[in-house]
Structure 1
Amino acid sequence: MYQAHWGLSTAPFASRLVPPLFHETPGRVETAARLRFLASGARQVGLLLGRAGVGKTLLATRFAQECRDDNRRVAVIDAAGLSSAELLWQITSAWSIGPRTSDTPVELFRRLADFAATQSSDSSAVLIVDNAQQAGPDLQTQLIRLQRLPASLGWLALVLVAETQAARQLNESLLETVDLRIDVDPWSEQETIGYLQLALFEAGGERPAFDEEALGAIHALAEGVPRRVNRVAEQALIAGAAEGVQQITAEEIESAFATLSYAV
């Protein structure tokens, strides 16, 4: 394992099987504050936008946990490949409304309507729809219907999470309900370097694995996108350990980047 070569106790850069290290940059703090503003009832529908790999899902997941800690009912739904019937079932189940396996979509929606009638803006339910740009027309229609239920104002805080360039795929009627847009930007070079150093420290590193030029190269090649930063850094550590180097240079970062599928 490459960790031993670098004196690390764990793999510092998150894989899909490991919860990623959250790097609390000013931009991420601002995003969290805007999501909390939405949940307060001041707004009803938020659109969380950013390019693939920038950390939208992680931010939404942390927001969901904050809402649960506040004793709100929270549903986090992945819209990719989901039918409208599955959407309604997952929401009613996550909100503990008590759906039955025999319930039809009409009955599930009626349960949600009855639930909405009991809610207030002080204890709004939270619905987070990840990969919203992949929601089909029927699913988007159900989201619009939920927003239009004749319940108390602010009973629902809806967060649509989508890739910026693909947001145009959302139904115009659904987009018209959005009253808070939140953009998640890539890290600055300083933020990328701070993250890399923190991740290595948290993994038990006692010496710098990357020289200064290598740190800058990771940021430039990954364009500050956290998922890419992780992949480039991990690939470089693996290659560096195999070659027995003591510190990774910018040239070795470029070689590691070239082995990844998105390298051009």
Structure 2
Amino acid sequence: MGEKNNKSKKFIDCLLNFQDVKDLELCDDQGVKVSTHTYDVLNISINKIKEKYVDYDFASQKIDFFAITVGIIIHDISKSSLRRNEENFSHSQMMIKNPEYIKAEVYSVLELIEKESGYKLTDSVKQNIAHIVESHHGKWGKVQPETEEANLVYMADMESAKYHRINPIQANDILKYSARGLGLSDIEKELNCSAAVIKDRIKRAKKELNLRTFSELLDVYKEKGRVPIGDKFFVLRSEETKKLKKYVDKNGFYNLFMKNPLMEYMIDDKIFKKENEIR
């Protein structure tokens, strides 16, 4: 299978080394790197593929693994480009108000990677990728997913945002510094998070213990060494997000994509134009 996907691997390698993609590691969304979220969308998509199809070989005949992988890599790329270009709209606003910007950016990036890799994508593959990206917000965007691939990525993105896009800072992290006498601004610096996150985590912990004041919560922490951090759903989200961040940091965003199991089922002849088709 290796000989059949050399072009695909090179194209994806070039894409992962494209500056706006690399910059996703510098973009933070609610305490989670956009690159970490991007890998999470890939992982969730793979799990959904395994749930729906008997095996990867059969699935690869039904859906385009290349379009899914590339679409996922660049589905949030505007989060870095919008900041760099100092646009007035956020990524989410652009998905609702001006998805044409998102689509145009997809084609621009793909053309740049085509030049760098030396391989031209077929028009249908390009269209599939563009649709995946411009529709990945589903009902929260202007364009709705109309293909199997786009719907898969939309569902995976929604699941990742629901369960794994939360700053994993917990009340116990905050109280540890409070017990040492640090104030709010100092704790913000130590934990690299906003005052809003700190206040939210304290509020959740107080609610679990039915306490009214921060000093009461701090007394419980000093006595027991820890406090409940929130309800079961919050605990699940927080712990899973913390594990996800550690996993991606340890294994590397680039490596995780290049080693993902979908790569081995990509067939170049179905993805790229033949030399006599290139004008």
Instruction: State if a TM-score over 0.5 links the two structures.
Output: no
Going by fraction, where is strand more abundant, 1 or 2? 1
Give TM-score scaled by structure 1 length.
Answer: 0.30
Going by fraction, where is helix more abundant, 1 or 2? 2
